[in-house]
Amino acid sequence: MAEPLGLFTDTSICIGCKACEVACKEWNQLPGNTPEFRDSFDNTGQLDAQNWRHVKFIERMPDEPVAVGNGHAWLMMSDICKHCTHASCLEVCPTQAIIKTEFNTVFIQQEVCNGCRDCIAACPYGAIGFNADTGTVHKCTMCYDRLQNNLEPACAKACPTQSIQFGKLADLQKKADARLATLQAQGNSEAQLYGRDDKVYGGLGAFFLLMQKPEVYGLPNKQNAVLPSRNNSKSYFGALVTAVIAVFAGMVAFRRDGTSGAVHDGDSASADNG
Amino acid sequence: MAEHFVQSPQWGWYILGYFFLAGLTGGSYTLATMLRWWGGAGDQRIARLGFLVAFPLVVVCGIFLTVDLGQPLRFWHMMINTTPGDTGLSFKYWSPISLGSWALLVYSGFSFISFLEALGMLGPFSGAFGRLFNFIGSILALFIASYTGVVLSVSNQPVWSDTWALGGLFLASALSGSAALLAWFASSRPDAGSTQWRLLRADGYFALLELVLIVVFFGTLAAAGTLSHALAGPWVFIWILVFASLVAPLMGLGHDRRLSATLSARGGALTASTALIVLAGVFLMRLAIIFSAQS
């Protein structure tokens, strides 16, 4: 396997220009959804089968009039599939259409997927969407075709502020650590890295520098970043206990109490036994 | 408290239909086996009916599951890995859909053979072989009736993944619905009053079990902070109907054996209405769980 590659998105320098969204659509030939005018600069809404990059605008405006010192940040974040080391989608996929590539990224094989959509139910980031035209699910590939040709992903290539950086994961992690230290030294005490270490799904191939806690950006925190399989044994055990009780109840209900039912009920003793 | 930022898988009416019928086929097969094992000679007609019902239902299950896929012609990808360079059987025991696909295939075979036997085309299955065959078939049937709940729980969706009770709840509900269905069939036979009474008594036990599991289900959601999500909007009214559907079978627990004579005398109207109410409850419970989480 090649050395793991990844994307580091520094939200502190994202300007919300959406060049990443456009570049992604252009390279991956995604026609996109019809734009919607919302109460925001966000006209794509969410990650889905057509939006593999989505710039979130998180408008944290104060209720009271803004004065010096009480303004809130207008957060922007270019969201993407996280390419989790321990990926929920890959875990549940029954067809094995979702695989890990040689770059440690998560990839959906379109010719294998049969559109059961279990991965959508599993992905904690809402990064996968169903395309009714192809009958399959889609998400960011981290431009797998470009990686195979030693090119960087289109989003990173297009980002004018270098908010999105591509490279070897180990190198990106060092850059992220340095950037975080700088921000914290400047007084941004809430700045933090998300997915840089293994506490969130074993580490993320696409990780982030956030200016607030993860929930503000619509990302599960460490406590809620859990795999679907956590419920496997508990759920099956619950079903097993129920089955045992139900079989016992059936035995109580159906068992003849030492006498022939025919005597009580007039059932024919020669009833069809088949 | 659990926080979810997922998207809906858009599992709709086909999946609801599958979950409903999977419960009934698994429940009918299991109850037929119970009647065959523990019932008397007079119960065997209804046991045979249970096997006759189980197979057609599982056929419809397969159709619903297939047409729900975005690529229905690739249904076999559930069992065969077509990844270039890595082809072979696909079996992931930790993926409930993968496990369920295999279980459904094997169970279909068992229910088909039991179906043929019930038609009299194979001769009666008796002795140790018959018991072993029905035992294995029933294990699979119980799995089919319950694993659909596990499919929901093994996800990151709100409500579904916040509880471990869905597998058991779906099983208890499936057995209750199947007992009501078979009791309805028994009501059409004047000499099956005893069987009908036994099925209604079993239905009462299963409904009680279901009631307990609904309480557990709500308790786990409350602990996770998502109970309000499950009961938001119209769903609270659907749950009221589900509770109402449990009243009749629970009241049946208080009846003594003389009810069998009454049932024989009064015919099928009472049992038919009871069965329809119970089956509606089985359907509505799944509807509320499947759709509320995705709304």
Q: What is the mean pLDDT of residues B93-97?
A: 97
Mutate which of A89, A236, A260, A263 to disrupt the B interface (most B C-beta within 10 Å)? A236
CB contact under 8 A, B6 and A123: yes
Q: A273 in a domain, yes or no?
A: no
Same domain, A250 and A172: no
Chain B CB contacts of A229 under 8 Å are 94, 154
- The reply to whether B123 falls in a domain is yes
Residues A254 and A193 in one domain: no
Average pLDDT for A204-218 = 96
CA angle B164-B89-B135, nearest 5°? 55
Alpha-carbon gap, residue A234 to A250, rounded angstroms: 24
Q: How many structural domains comprise chain A? A: 2
Note whether A195 and A140 are same-domain residues. yes
Other CB atoms within 10 Å distance of the CB of residue B208:
18
Instruction: Establish if A56 belongs to a structural domain.
Output: yes
CA gap A28, A24 in Å, rounded: 6
> Do A176 and A248 sit in the same domain of this protein?
no
Domain-located, residue A271: no
Range of the domain at B66: 13-294
- Per-residue pLDDT tens over the stretch B27-68: 999 999 999 999 888 899 999 999 999 999 999 999 999 999
- For residues A216 and A241, membership in a common domain is answered with no
Domain membership flag for residue B254 = yes
Tell me: do A188 and A256 sit in the same domain.
no
Residues of chain A with Cβ-Cβ distance to B150 below 8 Å are: 231-232, 235-236, 239
Q: Which residues of B touch A253 (CB under 8 A)?
A: 198-199, 201-202, 205
A41 shares its domain with A132: yes
Same domain, A151 and A213: yes
Q: Residue A71 has what pLDDT?
A: 64
Q: For residues A136 and A193, state if they share a domain.
A: yes
Stated length of chain A: 274
Inter-chain touch B146–A242, beta carbons under 8 Å: yes
Contacts by B108-111, CB closer than 8 A, 24 or more apart: B108/B55, B108/B58, B108/B59, B108/B62, B110/B29, B110/B136, B110/B137, B110/B140, B110/B141, B111/B25, B111/B29, B111/B51, B111/B54, B111/B55, B111/B58, B111/B137, B111/B141
Asked whether the predicted pLDDT for residue A158 surpasses 80, the reply is yes
At B186-196, the pLDDT tens digits run 988 877 788 88
What is the chain A residue with the closest CA to B149? Answer: A235
User: ipTM value of the model?
Assistant: 0.94
Residue B97 lies in a domain: yes
In this prediction, residues B77-89 reach a mean pLDDT of 95
User: What number of C-beta contacts closer than 8 Å exist between A and B?
Assistant: 275
- A176 located within any domain: yes
Is pLDDT at B254 greater than 90 in this prediction? no
Q: Which residues of A touch B172 (CB under 8 A)?
A: 242, 246
Residue B181 placed within a domain: yes
Q: Which of residues 177-236 of B touch A (CB under 8 A)?
A: 191-195, 198-199, 201-202, 205-206, 209, 213
Residue A70: pLDDT band (50, 70, 90) is low
Same domain, A164 and A247: no
Residues of B in contact with A273 (CB under 8 A): 41, 44, 124
What CATH number is associated with residue B166?
Answer: 1.20.1630.10
**Which residue of chain A has the CA closest to B79?**
A95
The CATH number for A127's domain is: 3.30.70.20
β-pair type (A206-210, A74-80): unpaired
Domain span at residue A256? 230-265
Domain membership flag for residue A274: no
A205 with A235, same domain: the answer is no
In a domain, A36, yes or no: yes
Regarding whether A142 and A63 lie in a shared domain, the answer is: yes
Q: Please report, rounded to a whole number, the percentage of residues in chain A having pLDDT higher than 90.
A: 80
Rounded to the nearest angstrom, the minimum Cα separation between B115 and chain A is: 11
Provide the domain count of chain B. 1
Q: How far is B121 from chain A (nearest CA, A)?
A: 10
d(CA B256, CA B247): 17
Instruction: Kindly determine whether residue B205 and residue A249, on different chains, have CB atoms separated by under 8 Å.
Output: yes
